[in-house]
Amino acid sequence: MTTRMAILEETGPRHGPSLLTVDLGAVKSNYRLLADKVGEAQCAAVVKANGYGLGLKQVSRALSQAGCKIFFVAHLDEAIELRGHLGQAVIYYLNGLMPGDAPACNAHDIRPVLNDPGQIDAWSLHCAGASSTPQCAIQLDTGMARLGLTPREAKRLDPARLDGIGLALILSHLACADTPAHALNECQRSDFTALCAALPRVTCSLAASSGIFLGPGWHFGMVRPGATLYGVAPNEDRPNPMAQVILLQGKILSIRDVDTPQTVGYGATYRFSKPTRLATVAAGYADGYPRGLGRQIGAHIGNIAVPVIGRISMDLITLDVTDAPRAKPGDMVDLIGPHHDLDMQASQSGTIGYEILTRIGRRYARRYIETSQ
């Protein structure tokens, strides 16, 4: 079967030596896979942190085209920006109603997630004095100890106190969903079920990305995938069912031959023990590469693995391209791609795919494509 590719948009530095390619067709495919998996439950999308670093406008519009009608971000300013891209969508912001937020919620039709009794009271007071207001959500803390009403606060909450606030959604967040066997997953599901039963009957939502794969018992009336939409594996123990969304490439700036006892990079931490062909590539920790990782990170030229050697600097990395004799200045090196995907990069970096995505810098030229078969 032939795969077709269309370039939709190119943004960022016009003369940037490095390139981030984002496959919006893969984003749509991932959304549809998750929406099909949860059946009758609504499938929202989380697009916080500039669409997980990939571009809020481009990612949100692609998800809307795939059928998504409900979106979540972290902050009110993100929600207002998103409203400029999506005129008709339902938009929630997760980090809670802060003093002064309510008028902006009204002006832009943004739904706040209320995270404590004081925020509920503030929103209630606002609703009482306004002719019309957006709906809202309430978050319950079932195990994260970050945001949301504690179980004690939720049990003490008089349902009559929620009259007139436009409550449309009750949500919580799983702490260990990427570890399916963890006992806290079932504890949170059980606690969330019990707490929701004592509150007004509205849509309930517990599962985000990894939680979807725990099974139907965690789906409730809505799921809120985020990182899985962008290709991150839902857990470490099973094959990744998500399509890969990004290709991150750096341009070779120079090629040189070196030999022992020469060293490379800051601190002279790597000393050559044999003749080596060295490529210097335009990418560094200012572009999202952690400085201290060195040979733990791999890259590829075509199908050939080329290890990073020496310290990663702000703008540059050096690669051992001895096994890629045809490499030359101007060629592109795959830093994250089909042979070295996002989760492999994260594992070798001692972090998670979420962090790798959101650390991708602004100095990459960006190409948005759509692949189809």
Residue 346 lies in a domain: no
Residue 9 lies in a domain: no
Which residue stretches of the chain have pLDDT < 50? none
Q: Which residues contact 304 (CB under 8 A, 6 or more apart)?
A: 323, 324
* CA atoms within 13 A of residue 104's CA, in its CB half-sphere: 17
Residue 12 lies in a domain: no
Answer yes or no: do 250 and 128 share one domain. Answer: no
Going by C-alpha positions, the residue among 83, 72, 122 that lies closest to residue 101 is 122
Answer yes or no: do 112 and 165 share one domain. Answer: yes
Q: Report the alpha-carbon distance of residue 345 to residue 246 in Å, rounded.
A: 12
Answer yes or no: do 211 and 278 share one domain. Answer: no
Answer yes or no: do 193 and 265 share one domain. Answer: no
Say what the alpha-carbon torsion angle 117, 120, 121, 127 is, to the nearest 10 degrees. Answer: 180
Domain finish residue from 178, 195, 230: 230
By residue range, what is the domain housing residue 295?
246-340
Q: Which pLDDT score, from 0 to 100, does residue 195 have?
A: 96
Are 331 and 250 in contact by the 8 Å Cβ rule? The answer is no
Q: Which pLDDT score, from 0 to 100, does residue 373 have?
A: 66
Q: Which pLDDT score, from 0 to 100, does residue 41 have?
A: 97
Answer yes or no: do 322 and 250 share one domain. Answer: yes
The domain that holds 84 is classified in CATH as 3.20.20.10
Total Cβ atoms within 10 A of residue 7: 10
69-89 exposure pattern, b = at least 16 Cβ within 10 A, e = fewer? ebbbbbbbebbbbbbebbeeb
Q: Which pLDDT score, from 0 to 100, does residue 96 have?
A: 97
Answer yes or no: do 253 and 222 share one domain. Answer: no
Residue 134 lies in a domain: yes
What is the total count of domains within the chain? 2
Q: Which pLDDT score, from 0 to 100, does residue 297 have?
A: 67
Residue 329 lies in a domain: yes
Residue 365 lies in a domain: no
> pLDDT for 186-227, tens place per residue?
999 999 999 999 999 999 999 999 999 999 999 999 999 999
Total Cβ atoms within 10 A of residue 127: 18
Q: Which pLDDT score, from 0 to 100, does residue 292 have?
A: 62
Q: Report the alpha-carbon distance of residue 259 to residue 22 in Å, rounded.
A: 38
Long-range contacts of 337-342 (CB under 8 A, 24+ apart): 337/247, 337/248, 337/249, 337/300, 338/244, 338/247, 339/300, 339/303, 339/305, 340/298, 340/299, 340/300, 340/305, 341/231, 341/240, 341/244, 342/231, 342/232, 342/244, 342/246
Residue 253 lies in a domain: yes
Residue 118 lies in a domain: yes
Q: How many residues does the chain have?
A: 373
Name the token pair of 177: 């969903």
| Catalytic residue list | 48, 266
Q: What is the pTM of this model?
A: 0.94
Answer yes or no: do 291 and 331 share one domain. Answer: yes
**Cα angle for residues 115, 117, 120 (degrees, 5° grid):** 75
Cα-Cα-Cα-Cα dihedral sign, residues 137, 59, 63, 227: negative
Answer yes or no: do 130 and 206 share one domain. Answer: yes
Q: Report the alpha-carbon distance of residue 59 to residue 39 in Å, rounded.
A: 23
Answer yes or no: do 296 and 223 share one domain. Answer: no
The domain that holds 303 is classified in CATH as 2.40.37.10
The amino acid sitting at 126 is H
Answer yes or no: do 114 and 218 share one domain. Answer: yes
Answer yes or no: do 157 and 267 share one domain. Answer: no
Q: Report the alpha-carbon distance of residue 113 to residue 278 in Å, rounded.
A: 52
Answer yes or no: do 129 and 72 share one domain. Answer: yes
